[in-house]
Amino acid sequence: MTPWLGLVVLLGSWSLGDWGAEACTCSPSHPQDAFCNSDIVIRAKVVGKKLVKEGPFGTLVYTIKQMKMYRGFTKMPHVQYIHTEASESLCGLKLEVNKYQYLLTGRVYDGKMYTGLCNFVERWDQLTLSQRKGLNYRYHLGCNCKIKSCYYLPCYVTSKNECLWTDMLSNFGYPGYQSKHYACIRQKGGYCSWYRGWAPPDKSIINATDP
């Protein structure tokens, strides 16, 4: 069993009797959480792909040209290949070859990088300026904070290290304004709060429920 097939099983969205059905189900994740929970975060261009015989439907192996690494220097300092399920119903990822640069996140298993639909993967030109700044330094500053999802009102933070993520209330899911423009960063006094701005984080305190 490949890692991402295992992920789908854990999500409870796949069954042996229904391989052909749409089965990939992912919980919404703020880009900062995706960054902090990934082994590898890179910007890269896909330059080739091939299908190998691994798993029930095979595995797509993309050859990439790594432009920049944001996370994973000790895990795998240079990534040349990424692996994903060939079937989208098993959360396999489809990427264009020789067309776009991508922001890619994933995990390392047996010396290989795996990614899929449940990872944060986006065309580089579709990222906001705030998201690019987050990748460079802001998200890293907030990895000790917790982003708490709010699906229905009322929602509350229950500890000083939480930021309330409310994109799902107004955007019927992700991505929303907080995903695109804010990072959850620890401020003076030990409290985590949403941050957006040009000044250093401790000079711009934003209430945990804002925006």
Q: How far apart are CA 207 and CA 205, in angstroms?
A: 7
Domain boundary among 86, 101, 125: 125
In a domain, 25, yes or no: no
The pLDDT of residue 15: 31
- Looking at the fold, whether 111 and 139 belong to one and the same domain comes out as no
In a domain, 204, yes or no: no
Domain boundary among 125, 153, 169: 125
- Looking at the fold, whether 106 and 150 belong to one and the same domain comes out as no
Report helix, strand or coil for 24: coil
* % of the chain exceeding 70 in pLDDT: 80
- Looking at the fold, whether 132 and 74 belong to one and the same domain comes out as no
In a domain, 2, yes or no: no
In a domain, 7, yes or no: no
Report helix, strand or coil for 182: coil
- pLDDT (tens digit per residue) in 66-111: 999 999 999 999 999 999 999 988 999 999 999 999 999 999 999 9
- Looking at the fold, whether 93 and 138 belong to one and the same domain comes out as no
- Looking at the fold, whether 118 and 157 belong to one and the same domain comes out as no
- Looking at the fold, whether 47 and 114 belong to one and the same domain comes out as yes
Sole residue written with tokens 């899929």:
116
Residue 173 in this model has a pLDDT that exceeds 60: no
The pLDDT of residue 55: 75
pTM over cut 0.85: no
- Looking at the fold, whether 57 and 102 belong to one and the same domain comes out as yes
**Structural domain tally of the chain?**
2
- Looking at the fold, whether 68 and 107 belong to one and the same domain comes out as yes
- pLDDT (tens digit per residue) in 38-77: 999 999 999 999 999 887 789 999 999 999 999 999 999 9
- Looking at the fold, whether 112 and 144 belong to one and the same domain comes out as no
Averaged pLDDT, 123-143: 95
Instruction: Give the chain's mean pLDDT.
Output: 84
* CATH (domain of 37): 2.40.50.120
DSSP code per residue over 92-116? -----TTS-EEEEEEEEETTEEE--
* CATH (domain of 157): 3.90.370.10
CB atoms within 10 A of CB 172: 8
- Looking at the fold, whether 137 and 169 belong to one and the same domain comes out as yes
Classify burial at 33, counting beta carbons within 10 Å of its beta carbon; exposed 0-12, middle 13-18, buried 19 or more. Answer: buried
Which residue range is the domain that position 44 belongs to? 31-125
CB atoms within 10 A of CB 123: 13
The pLDDT of residue 60: 95
- pLDDT bin (cut points 50, 70, 90) of residue 23 is confident
Domain boundary among 76, 109, 125: 125
Question: What's the chain's length in residues?
Answer: 211
- Looking at the fold, whether 104 and 132 belong to one and the same domain comes out as no
- Looking at the fold, whether 93 and 133 belong to one and the same domain comes out as no
Q: How far apart are CA 199 and CA 186, in angstroms?
A: 14
Beta bridge partners of 69: 42
Sole residue written with tokens 């059905």:
21
In a domain, 4, yes or no: no
Any idea what DSSP says for residue 136? I
In a domain, 208, yes or no: no
In a domain, 21, yes or no: no
Residue 24, annotated as binding a ligand = yes
Contacts of 165 (CB under 8 A, 6+ apart): 30, 147, 148, 149, 150, 178, 179
Which tokens belong to 54?
Answer: 């691994």
